[in-house]
A and B are shown apart, each in its own frame.
Chain A
Amino acid sequence: MLAYIGRNIALRVVLLFIVSVLIHGLIHLAPGEPSAVDPSNPRMKPQDIAKIRAAFHLDDPLYLQYVYWVRDLARGELKSFKDNQPVLGKIWRRFLNSLPLFICSTLIVWTLAFPVGIHAAIRRGAVFDRSSTLVAYALISFPGFFLSYIMILGVVEVFHVPVIGLRTFGMEGATGVFQFMDRVWHLVLPSLLGALGGIAILSRYVRSQMLEVVSQDYVRTAKAKGLHQDVVIYRHALRNALLPFITMFGLLIPGLVGGSVIFETIFAWPGLGLLGYEAILSRDFPVILTLNVFGAMLTLIGTLISDVLYGVADPRIRLE
C-alpha cells in the first residue's frame, strides 16, 4: 500500500513541476506587461518604468524569471506586483473566504443528488425519472449568471435574502451569535446557486450507476429473498454503486479555485476566483502564476486522494 501511495506522490510532484513551467511560459508569452498598465498616468517617467521593470525582473530571460518566482515562493517572500503585499497572505485570506462557500455547495450537492438519483433509478421511466431528467438538463443549460440574476430578482423581494458580500455592513459591533447568523444568511443564496449545476450532473451520474447495479443478479437474489426494498437498495445495491463516487470526491477539490469566478463576481464574494480576476486585470504575474499553480496542486491532491481511496476500496488496483 505504501509503495502505491509513494509512486502516486512522486508522479504528481513531477507533474506539478511541469505544470508550473508550462503556465509560467504561457503567461509570460502573452502580451501585456505590468509596467504598461497605466500608460495614461502623466507622472510615469521612463525612469519609473525602468525601475519597475528592474524590480520585477521583467527584462531577464524567461528561465531566470521562473527561478526568481520559485525562489521567492519557497522562501515565502513572493510579493504581488500591484501592492507589494505577500502573495501567500493574500491567497490565504481569500481561501478562508472561499472555503465556507465551497463546503456549503458541496454538502448541498451531495446531500440532494443521491436521493434524487436513486429514486429516479429505482422507478425508471416513471414520471419522477423523466421530470428529474428534464430538470437536470435544464439546470446545466442555463448560463450561470442568467439563472442567478433571475433568482436574485425573485428572492430579494420576497425573502429579503442578502446578495452582496460576506456580511452586512456594520455588524461588527453585534454579539458573536448574531454575526454568525448573519454570515450564514449571506451564505445561503451563493451556495444554493453554485450547487444547482452540480446537483444536475451528479444526480444523472448516480442514476446511471444505480441502473447498472440494480440489474445485477445479486440484487435480484436479495429481492427474491424477500428483503425490504430499503435494505436491498441502501445496503446492497448502493455500496457497490458507490465506487466511482469515491474517486469523484477527490476530483471535487479543484473546484475551490476554478469554479467560482462568475458566482463570486455576481455576489461580490471576496474569494479566490475574484482574486484571480483582479490579478489578471492588473497583470499581476506573481498572483496569477501562484493561483494557477495552486489550482493545479489542488487538482493533483484531489486525484491523489481519489486514487488512494480507490486503492483502499478496490484491492485489485493496488497491485498494478
Chain B
Amino acid sequence: MNTMNRLGASVDAEKLPPPETPWQEFIRVFKKDRLAVVSSIVLAILVVVGISGKVFTEWVVVFDAEVVRLPDKFLPPLSTPSVDIIPAPDLPQLGVYVFGTDELGRDVFARMLQGSFVSLSIGFVAVGISVVVGILLGGLAGFFGNIQLLKIMTVDTLIMRFTDVMLCIPTFFLILTVVALLPPSIYNIMIVIGLFGWMGTCRFVRAEILALRQQDFVVAAEALGLPKTRIIFRHLVPNALAPVLVSTTIGVATAILTESGLSFLGFGVQPPYATWGNILTDGKGFIFDAPWLFVIPGMAIFVVVLAFNIVGEGLREALNPKLRRR
C-alpha cells in the first residue's frame, strides 16, 4: 500500500515507523536532557515530601514542629536528645535530631517538613492565580481584539495597555509595599504575588492565539456554530499552553525566592508557621554558633529552585516547535 512521506515521495506504508503522538514526541525530546529528567525526579520527591510534611506534622503529628525543648537548644544535626531531661512524648520520633535543633529547641527536620508544604503551596497558588488571570486576559485580547469599545479603542489595545501599566511598576517594591500594609497572612502573600505576575502569561497567550486564529480548525468551529467562549477556552488555549507551561515552572521558582526575600525583610508568614524563608531568616542570626540553622534551609531552597529552573528549561527545549521532526 503506497502513501506519501512529507517530501512528497511515494513510500510503502507498511515499512514506515508508526506515527508518533505529540505526547510521545515530547517525552522523547525531554528524555534527551538527562539533567532535566533528574530534576523532575527531584521535584516529584519534593511534592511527596510536601504532602507528607503536611500530613505528618499537622494531621497525624508524627513529627512535631512546635514543641519547645529548651534543654536541647542548638544541637548539631544527627545528635541524640537528652533522654533523661526531656519528657518522653517530646522526644523526636526517629531517635535523633536529623537536622539539629534551633534556638528554642524545636526539631529543625520537623520545621523543614512543615515549611515545605507552606513554601510549595505559596509557589503553586501564586502561580496558579497569575496563570488563570493571564490566560483569561490573553484569551480575550487575542480573540476579541478587533471589537471596538465606545469607538475609542479596541479590546486588544485596552488589555495590552493595562498590561503595560502593570509592567511599569517595579514589581518587588510594590509587592513589598502591599504585603507590608496588609495584615500579615499567608493568603495575602499568595494573592499579592499572583496578582503581580500574570503579565508574561497574558502576552504569550495573546501572541499564540493571534497566530492560531487563522487556522482551519477555528474556521470550522465557528462554522459549526460553537459559542465563542468554548472556542477560546476548549480549543485555542490548550494549543497555546506551551510557553505558559515553561513560564509556570520558572514562576514557581521565582515565587519561592520572592517569599524568602519577603521573610528576610520581615513581611513573610508570621510565626509559628514555618516556611523555608522563615527558618532561613531566623537562622541568619546564628551563623557562627549554629551554622546548620542557616545552611540547611538555604541549600533546600537552592536545590528546589534549581530543579524548577532546569525542568523549565528542559520543557522549553522539548516544547520548541523548531525542534520537531515535522
**B-binding residues in A (CB < 8 A):** 15-16, 18-19, 22-23, 26-27, 30-32, 134, 137-138, 140-146, 149-150, 153, 254, 257-259, 261-262, 265, 273, 276-277, 280-281, 283, 288, 291-292, 295-296, 299-300
Contact = CB atoms under 8 A, between A and B. Distances in A.
A143 B168 CA distance: 24
B176 A277 contact: yes
Contacts of B313: 137
A141 B169 contact: no
Contacts of B323: none
Contacts of B257: 143-144
Contacts of B172: 258-259, 261
Main secondary structure of the interface of B (DSSP, over half): helix
Q: Which 9 A-B pairs have the closest CB atoms?
A: A258-B170, A30-B181, A295-B170, A146-B298, A141-B306, A141-B305, A296-B168, A280-B180, A258-B173
B302 A31 contact: no
B174 interface: yes
B181 A31 contact: yes
Contact of A143 (B181, B298, B310): B298
Interface stretch (B90-98, B104-112, B133-141, B260-268): B260-268
18 contacts: A15-B161, A15-B164, A22-B165, A30-B178, A30-B181, A137-B309, A138-B306, A141-B305, A142-B305, A143-B280, A144-B257, A145-B261, A146-B301, A258-B170, A258-B172, A280-B180, A299-B169, A299-B170
Contacts of B180: 280-281
B205 interface: no
A142 B276 CA distance: 13
Given A149-B284, A262-B265, A280-B177, A295 B183 contact: no
A145 B177 contact: no
Interface in B247-270: 253, 257, 260-261, 264-265
Interface of B: 35, 161, 164-165, 167-174, 176-178, 180-183, 253, 257, 260-261, 264-265, 277, 280, 284, 287, 294, 298, 301-302, 305-306, 309-310, 313
Given A259-B172, A280-B180, A145 B264 contact: yes
Contacts of A142: 298, 302, 305
B169 A295 contact: yes
Nearest to A18: B165
A277 B264 CA distance: 12
A145 B260 CA distance: 9
A74 to B, nearest CB: 20
Contact of B182 (A30, A153, A258): A30
Given A142-B302, A295-B170, A299-B170, A261 B265 contact: yes
Contacts of B260: 143
B261 A262 contact: yes
Contact of A292 (B169, B253, B302, B305): B169
Contacts of A281: 180
Most buried by A among B164, B177, B178, B284: B177
Contacts of A153: 287
A150 B170 CA distance: 28
Contact of B173 (A19, A22, A276): A276
Contacts of B261: 143-145, 262
